[in-house]
Chains A and B, each alone.
Chain A
């Protein structure tokens, strides 16, 4: 059973702080994704990674960066948090060799004040 975990369920940060969101998957998936979920906008892709140390921009990468030093771990970094980054952040993973299904983590609700 695939398990995707995220470091925090709820997070409150102040404007200007550096924020780290971490995602870990235990199924040796090569693909990992970070999405942002806002009401009425669905799931929007921030960044994705097809392999260790590899990253590609998604639809809304501005204000974010990522790191993938190990295959099982994909981190999302907000260099200087702003109030418009208040949102639900979802991590997902998938394996090209098995199927296209993306398995999601439980999400982190980030509030920036």
Chain B
């Protein structure tokens, strides 16, 4: 079955710097890759997603890149702000089960003022 790895598990950056979180997946048939942000004590919420027919997608300070050949995708946050501090989860769709995802273990991002 699908397996998703995520690195690093924790990440600290200075406010204004960039942050990069990387994920790898095992199932070459996966075609949808969402990123969820979970602030402390709150529910996970989708922040950006990418489908397998696109190599890069950007939304303001957030971008996601996908390398299908290498089976890895990354989240890039530029000009980080304190409100970006949260746990970020990547996920990959399970090809045989439509909208089911396998989530990575998460990255705790701390943006230091």
A100 adjacent to B93 (CB under 8 Å): yes
B89 adjacent to A100 (CB under 8 Å): no
Looking at the assembled complex, report how far the CB atom of B1 sits from the nearest CB atom of chain A, in whole angstroms: 8
> Which A residues are CB-close (under 8 A) to B32?
100
**A43 lies within 8 A of chain B by Cβ:** yes
Select A90's contact among B9, B44, B46, B100, beta carbons within 8 Å.
B44
Residues 1-55 of A at the B interface (beta carbon under 8 Å): 31, 33, 35, 40-45, 48, 50
> Which A residues are CB-close (under 8 A) to B45?
104
Instruction: State the total of A-B contacts with C-beta under 8 angstroms.
Output: 50
B9 adjacent to A42 (CB under 8 Å): no
- Tell me the complex Cα distance, A111–B109, Å: 27
Contact A94 B43, CB 8 Å, known A42-B106, A101-B34, A101-B49:
no
- Tell me the complex Cα distance, A50–B99, Å: 10
B99 adjacent to A42 (CB under 8 Å): no
**B98 lies within 8 A of chain A by Cβ:** yes
- Tell me the complex Cα distance, A41–B102, Å: 11
**A96 lies within 8 A of chain B by Cβ:** yes
Encoded as 1 (CB less than 8 Å from any B CB) or 0, chain A from 75 to 86 comes to 000000000000
Among residues of A, the one whose C-beta sits closest to the C-beta of B6 is: A42
Select B46's contact among A31, A48, A56, A101, beta carbons within 8 Å.
A101
> Which A residues are CB-close (under 8 A) to B46?
101-102
**A61 lies within 8 A of chain B by Cβ:** no
B9 adjacent to A43 (CB under 8 Å): no
> Which A residues are CB-close (under 8 A) to B103?
35, 42-44
Interface residues of B (CB under 8 A from A): 1, 6, 9, 32, 34, 42-46, 49, 89, 93, 97-106
Could you show 6 A-B contacts with beta carbons less than 8 Å apart? Answer: A42-B106, A58-B100, A100-B49, A102-B34, A102-B46, A107-B43
